[in-house]
Structure formats: C-alpha cells, structure tokens
Amino acid sequence: MNPLRLILTFHPHLHHRCRAMSSNPFSKVQDEAASRDERKWNKLSRMMSSFHEGFKEQFNTLYELSDGSFNKRGWSLGLYLESAKRFNDHLTMHHTIEEAYIFPILGRRMKQFSTESDGEHLASHKGIHDGLQSLKSLIHKCKADPTSYSPTEMRACLDNFREVLFSHLDQEVQDLQGENLKKYFTLKEVEEIPV
C-alpha cells in the first residue's frame, strides 16, 4: 500500500481531521496533482498568449495613434515611428526564435508547425514578414522625410497584414494548448521545449 495512504489510514488525529475535511482526502491529493500537470501542459500556450496579447495591444495602439493623435499623448512623430520600429523588431525576433527553436521540435509531429513541408504557421510568418518589411520601409521613409508621413498610408500598411497577424497569433496559442499537445507529446517532452 502507498505509505501516505497507510499513515492517513492509521494515524488517529489525521484520520479524524481528514474525515472532517473531506470524505476522500486521496482524491484531493490526486486532484491537486492533476491540476499541477494541467498547468505544466498549458505553460507553453500561457507564455505564448502573454507575448501575443502584447503584440496585439502594440499593433492596436499604433493603428489608433496613426492619425496624429500620438501628439495628444505627448509623443512626437519621431517617437511614434520609433515605437513602430520597436514593434517590428520584437515581432521579427519572436518569429525568428520560434522558427529556430520551437517549430522544428513541434513540426516533427504537428504538421501545422512543420518547417519542411510549408506548415501553416510558417506560411503565416511569411505573410506577416512581408507586412513587416513594408512597415519597415515606411518607417525608414518617414524618418528620413517627416513631411512625407501620411496617416492614410500608415493605416493602409498596417491593414495589409492585420488579418494574417491576428489570426496567426490566436491560432498558434490554440494549437499549443495542453489538450492538443497531449495528442503528440509526453509531458516530459513538452517541458524540454526551450521557452
């Protein structure tokens, strides 16, 4: 018999307390262990979600302020363009890390993360990258000649990759949820993924 079960069965005080707390203390222990495991299974999607929510927020802020209302926040055009550049750099780095360290592991068993047969997430990254390249060129042009800044042009540029970006950010988190990972990996394998 499990030593813990023996102790709880024959220890009079514990037995009494456990009976007072719950009709089945072992199921509580098992429930706690199960929810600990669930948290481990979902760690990847939780972390990914927190990055992605940040990217969505930054994108929405850039869009909202593009009409010149950045001035109301006390931002100059230069500062606004710098924050657009930071968004661009961070998202590019996020994708570079995923493609180098995470997709190759997941893609061996989950076709949507495949890096060889053009998995859907890699295809989305390419679409987003095209949008980010246009954004980078626009930032560059406006930094060189601030009078060329046009809210319409900035919004059109952001609108061009909004759909592919937002659907990718949501789908990736969805695909990384524990209930999906369980179909392809052991918990130990998931915990070894470098995040």
Stretch that binds Fe ion, among 22-30, 35-43, 60-68, 95-103 (CB under 5 A): 95-103
Residue placing its CB nearer to Fe ion in the complex, 62 or 91: 91
Q: Which of residues 137-176 bind Fe ion (CB under 5 A)?
A: 172
Nearer to Fe ion, 49 or 66 (CB): 49
Residue 94 CB, shortest distance to Fe ion, in Å, is 6
# binding residues, Fe ion (CB under 5 A): 2
Q: Is 84 exposed, middle or buried (0-12, 13-18, 19+ CB in 10 A)?
A: buried
Cβ proximity to Fe ion, 141 vs 177, nearer residue: 177
- Terminal Cα distance for the chain, rounded: 39
Is the distance from CB of 130 to CB of 157 less than 8 angstroms? no
Q: Kindly tell me which of 82 and 99 has the beta carbon lying closer to Fe ion.
A: 99
Long-range contacts of 79-84 (CB under 8 A, 24+ apart): 81/139, 81/142, 81/143, 81/149, 83/58, 84/135, 84/139
CB of 123 to Fe ion, least distance (A): 11
**Interface contacts to Fe ion, rule CB under 5 A:** 98, 172
